[in-house]
Chains A and B, each alone.
Chain A
Amino acid sequence: MANGYLDMKLLRFTTAGSVDDGKSTLIGRLLYDSKSIFEDQLEAVETASKSRGNEDVNLALLTDGLKAEREQGITIDVAYRYFATPKRKFIIADTPGHIQYTRNMVTGASTADLAIILIDARHGVMEQTIRHSYIATLLGISRIVVCVNKMDLVDYSQDVFNKIIADYKEMSKHLDIPETDFIPISAKNGDNVVNRSENITWYTGSPLLEFLENVEIKNQTSGDFRMAVQYVVRPISDKFADFRGYAGRIAQGTVKVGDKIKILLSGLTSTVKGIYNGKQELPQAQEGESVDITLADDIDISRGDYLVGDNANIPSVGKEFTLDICWFNPSPMQLRKKYIVRHATQEIQGLFTEILHKTDISTQEKIEGASELQLNDIARVTLKTAGELVYESYKKNKVTGSLVFVDPFTFETVGAGMIV
C-alpha cells in the first residue's frame, strides 16, 4: 500500500538532558528533519519564539508543552513524542535532566528500550552524564547511545570527541553499563542527526537517526511463558454459557494450544484449550500480546493469579523481597508504614522493613544508616507484603520484577521498585 507501512517495528527510547545541553533542540531536529513536524506546528513555534524575543526558531518550544515550562524555558515533566520513518516507528520519552527531576527520568526510562545520553562537547563528561547513565542502567535499559553535542563549538575536533569517549568509559566503569555507542553531533545545525555531517568527515559511523532505525534490541521472548491474569471474561449468554477466558498480556515467552500450564498461587495445572484475540482464534501467542486464554479444566482463577509454563523454571513465590526503589513523593518514605503495593495485576499491603543503603545519585556511592527516604532518593531496601506475590528479579523479567507503591491515604504514586 502506498505510503502506508503496516508492519513496522516499534522502538521506544528516552532522552535526559539539562537546561543547556540541547536535548529539546535535538528532539526538535529529529522531528523537523524527519518531516514529522507540520506547518501549523512550526508556525505556532515561530510565533511563540518571536513573542519571547528569540531570534532563531526555538525548537525546544515544540516539546515543552505546558504553560509553566514555556514560561520558565525548562522541561518539567515527561513528554511523549512520536515519529516514524519508512523503517521504524519511534516513541520518545523526553525527560528533564536536572537532579530534582530524577523521578521523571526514572518514569521515562521504565518503558524505554534505549537511552540517549547527551554530552556538551565543550564541557565533556559531567556528573549528570554519569547520573543519567546510572538511571538507565538501574531501569534495565539494554542499550545506550551517547551523543556528543555542540561539536560545532569545538571546531568539530576529533580529539575532543575521543577524549570524551575515554573519559566516559573511565567514569562509568563502576556501573553495569550495557552496550554503548558514541556519535558526534550538532543538534542546532543538524550535523549527524538525520543527515550525515559534512563537517565531521573523520566520523565513519551512522548518523543518529540511521543508528536508531537499525539498532537491534534484545527482547524477552526466549524465556518461559508468563502471564498475569488481568480479568476473567465471562459472557452472560446462552451461546457462550461455558466460556471462561483468562485475559492478560503475555509477559514472557510463547504459549500454544495444548500446552501444559501451571497456575500460581494455587499450583494446580491444566491444558490450554483456546487462545483468542477478540473473535480470532490463535494457535499460539507470544510476549507482548494481549490475549484471552481458555483452559481444559474448571479451576478457580482470578485477577492477580499467574499462568506460567509447567516446568521446573517457575517464578518464585514469597512475602519478603529485596529491591531497589526510587522515592517520588515530597512526604518521606517511612519504615514500618503501610503502603499499597501494586505488582503486575496484584494489589496488596506492604511495609518497608529496612533501608540497606541509599545511593548518592551523583556519585553512586552507597550511604548506610538512613532511616527514611526523601523525594528522588534511590535506595536498596527490604519489603514485606501481607500476602504472597509471584515474582522474579527485575533483571530477569521487567513485569514480574517491578512494583509501584501507593500512599494509602492520598492514593498518590509515591515510589517504584525493582526486585533484586
Chain B
Amino acid sequence: MTHLNELEAESIYILREVAAQFQKPAILFSGGKDSIVVTHLAYKAFYPAKLPFPLVHIDTGHNFKETIEYRDALVEKLGAQLIVGSVQESIDTGRVKEETGYNASRNALQTTTLLDTIEKYKFDACIGGARRDEEKARAKERIFSHRDEFGQWNPKNQRPELWNIFNGRKNMGEHFRVFPISNWTEMDVWQYIYKENIELPSLYYTHTRKCFFRDGQWLAAEDCIKRRPEEEVVEKEVRCRTIGDITCTGLTLSKAHTIEDIIAETAATRVTERGGRADDKRSETAMEDRKINGYF
C-alpha cells in the first residue's frame, strides 16, 4: 500500500468507529481543505448509504463568500444536513463580547458558539480536520480526544491510545473531539486532493484580490478588518494556504492555478501553513491555551 492508501484506510476506520460508538456525532465543517477532505472520507466510508453525520459550521460572520458558496453547494450535492452556529448571534445575545481595535478577531469567540451548538444539539462526538503536524500542542493530542462537561481539554491527563483501539466511553454531558486525519501532513492532504480529484473553494487557487500588508503578511481588504490609515490597499495575485475567518487568514503571493502547482509550491515553501495565521501568534502556547478552553 502507498502512504496515501494507508492514511485513507486509517481515517475511514476512525470515521466508522465514530458512527458505531456514538449516538449523535457531527462533522465540524469550516470550508477549509482539511474539513473538505474529512467530509470526502466520510462519504467514502458509508457509501452507498448517506453521510451519517450532519455538517456543523461555526460561522463568525466574517467568511469569504466563496467559502459559503462552496459549503452550500457541497451540502446540496451530498444531500447532507447543515447546522450553522452563529457567532453574531452569540454576540447579540450577550454570550460573548466582541474584541475591538485593529487586530480584533472573532476567532476566540467561536469557542463559546461551538460549545453552545454542541450542547443545543446534544452532539456527543465532533469530528474535526485538525492534523498533528499543524501545531505543537496538536502533535500531542489523541485521535479520540475527551472533553469534560465544560468542553475543556486536559492535556496532562489524556487517555492512552494504543493500536487502533479507540475508547469513546464518557459520562453524560461530556463529549469527544475526533480527528480522523491526525496523521496526515499538509502535503498528504494536497496529494490526496489531487489523487481523488476533490473540488475545492476557488480561494485556494491564485486570484486577484484587494489586499493590505500587516505584520509580515498580506490580508484581505474587507470591511471586517479595521485598517490603519497608513495601510494601503493594493491588488495582488494571491491564494489561501489555509482558510479560516477573513480576519486571521493570511494570503500567499502565488501563481498556483492547479493542484499540481500547489503541490510544487508546498514542496518548495519554507514557512508552515499556520505561519499565516494571526490567531497562533498571540503567544507561544496560543493553541494549547485555546484548546484547553474547548476550541477546535
Return chain B residues, CB-CB under 8 Å to A47. 284
Quote the shortest CB–CB distance from A249 to chain B (angstroms): 4
Q: Are B9 and A249 in contact (CB under 8 A)?
A: yes
Q: Which of A230, A286, A399 contacts B16 (CB 8 A)?
A: A230
A47 to B191, CA, bound (A): 33
B178 to chain A, nearest CB (A): 14
Taking a contact as CB atoms closer than 8 A, the residue among A38, A236, A277, A399 that contacts B44 in the complex is A277
**Cα-based distance from A62 to B19 in the complex (angstroms):** 35
**Are A342's CB and B16's CB within 8 A?**
no
Contact A82 B264 (CB under 8 A): no
**Could you tell me the distance between the alpha carbons of A337 and B91 in the complex, rounded to whole angstroms?**
50
Q: In the complex the two chains form, what is the Cα distance from A106 to B165 in whole Å? A: 14
A404–B285 Cα gap in the complex (Å)? 32
Interface residues in B271-287 (C-beta closer than 8 Å to A): 271-272, 275, 284-285
Point out the residues of chain A lying under 8 angstroms from B5, CB to CB.
288-289
Complex contact B161–A413 (CB within 8 A): yes
User: Chain B 159-201, CB within 8 Å of chain A: the 1/0 string?
Assistant: 1111111010111000000000011010110110011000000
Binds A, one of B62-70, B106-114, B135-143, B204-212: B135-143
Cβ–Cβ < 8 Å partners of B260 in chain A: 1-2, 4
Distance between Cα atoms of A66 and B139 in the complex (Å): 9
- Complex CA gap A4/B256 in Å reads 15
Whether B271 pairs with A39 at a CB distance below 8 angstroms is yes
In this complex, what residue of B is CB-closest to A402? Answer: B163
* Nearest CB in chain B to that of A345: its residue: B20
The 8 Å CB contact of A67, one of B13, B271, B288, is: B288
Partner of B163, one of A63, A286, A345, A399: A399
Query: Known contacts A3-B268, A81-B139; is A233 also within 8 Å of B49 by CB?
Result: yes
Counting chain A CB atoms within 10 Å of each CB, which of B2, B133, B167, B183 scores highest? B167
Check if A107 sits within 8 Å of B263, measured CB to CB.
no
> What CA separation (Å) do A2 and B259 show in the bound complex?
11
Pick the residue among B12, B48, B132, B138 that contacts A235 (CB under 8 A). B48
Measured CB to CB, the closest approach of chain B to A345, in angstroms, equals 7
Whole-angstrom CA separation of A278 from B187 in the bound complex: 23
**Is the CB–CB distance between B284 and A70 below 8 Å?**
yes
Q: Report how many residues on chain B are interfacial, defined by Cβ distance under 8 Å.
A: 68
A402 and B155 alpha carbons, distance in the complex (Å): 26
The residues of B that contact A215 with a CB separation of less than 8 Å are: none
- State which size class the interface on A falls in: 35 or more
Asked if A340 and B156 sit within 8 Å, CB to CB, the answer is: no
Q: Do A240 and B48 touch (CB < 8 A)? A: yes
Interface presence of A381 (CB below 8 A): no
Contact flag A278-B43 (CB < 8 Å), given A1-B263, A4-B260, A231-B16: yes
CB–CB A82/B9 < 8 A: no
Stretch at the interface among A7-15, A124-132, A151-159, A194-202: A7-15
CB of A89, distance to nearest CB on chain B (Å): 4
Q: Hey, which chain A residues are within 8 Å of B49, CB to CB?
A: 233-236, 240
Q: Does A118 contact B (CB under 8 A)?
A: no
Q: Which residue of B lies closest to A94 (CB)?
A: B139
A239 contacts B48, C-beta separation under 8 Å: yes
Asked if B9 and A289 sit within 8 Å, CB to CB, the answer is yes
**A23 located at the interface, meaning its Cβ lies under 8 Å from any Cβ of chain B in the complex:** no
CA–CA, A365 to B183, complex, Å?
37
Interface: A138 (CB within 8 A): no
A233 in contact with B46 given A9-B2, A80-B183 (CB within 8 Å): yes
A59-71 CB mask vs B (1 if < 8 Å, else 0) is 0001111111010
> Is A10's CB under 8 angstroms from B272's CB?
no
In chain A, what residue has the closest Cβ to B183? A91
Q: Inside 8 A of B13's CB, which chain A residues have their CB?
A: 230, 248-249, 290
**In the complex, which residue of chain A has the Cβ closest to the Cβ of B168?**
A411
How far does the alpha carbon of A251 sit from the alpha carbon of B45 in the complex, in Å?
17
- Does B158 make an interface contact (CB < 8 A)? yes
Which residue, B20, B163, B284, has most C-beta atoms of chain A within 10 A? B163
Which residues of chain A from 39 to 55 have a CB within 8 Å of any chain B CB?
Answer: 39-41, 44, 47-48
CB-nearest residue of chain A to B196: A278
A6 is an interface residue with CB less than 8 A from chain B: yes
The distance in angstroms between the C-alpha atoms of A44 and B280, with both chains bound, is 11
CB distance from B208 to the nearest CB of A (A): 25
- Residue numbers in A under 8 Å from B187 (CB-CB): 4, 84
Of all A-B residue pairs in the complex, the 7 with the closest CB atoms, nearest first, are A65-B136, A278-B44, A3-B267, A411-B169, A40-B275, A290-B12, A110-B162
Known: A40-B271, A342-B165. 20 other contacts (CB 8 A): A2-B264, A6-B191, A39-B275, A63-B136, A63-B139, A65-B137, A68-B155, A77-B140, A77-B158, A104-B160, A107-B161, A230-B13, A277-B44, A278-B45, A279-B44, A398-B163, A402-B162, A411-B167, A411-B170, A412-B159
User: Chain B residues in contact with chain A, CB under 8 A?
Assistant: 1-10, 12-13, 16-17, 19-20, 43-50, 132-133, 135-140, 155-156, 158-165, 167, 169-171, 182-183, 185, 187-188, 190-191, 194-195, 260, 263-264, 267-272, 275, 284-285, 288
In the assembled complex, 13 residue pairs joining A and B whose CB atoms fall closer than 8 Å, in A order, are A38-B271, A39-B275, A66-B136, A66-B140, A66-B156, A77-B155, A81-B139, A106-B162, A231-B20, A279-B47, A288-B5, A345-B20, A399-B164
Query: Measuring CB to CB, which residues of chain A are less than 8 angstroms from any residue of chain B?
Result: 1-10, 38-41, 44, 47-48, 62-68, 70, 76-82, 84, 89, 91, 103-104, 106-107, 110-111, 230-231, 233-237, 239-240, 243, 247-249, 276-279, 286, 288-290, 292, 303, 328, 340, 342-345, 398-399, 402-404, 406, 411-413, 416
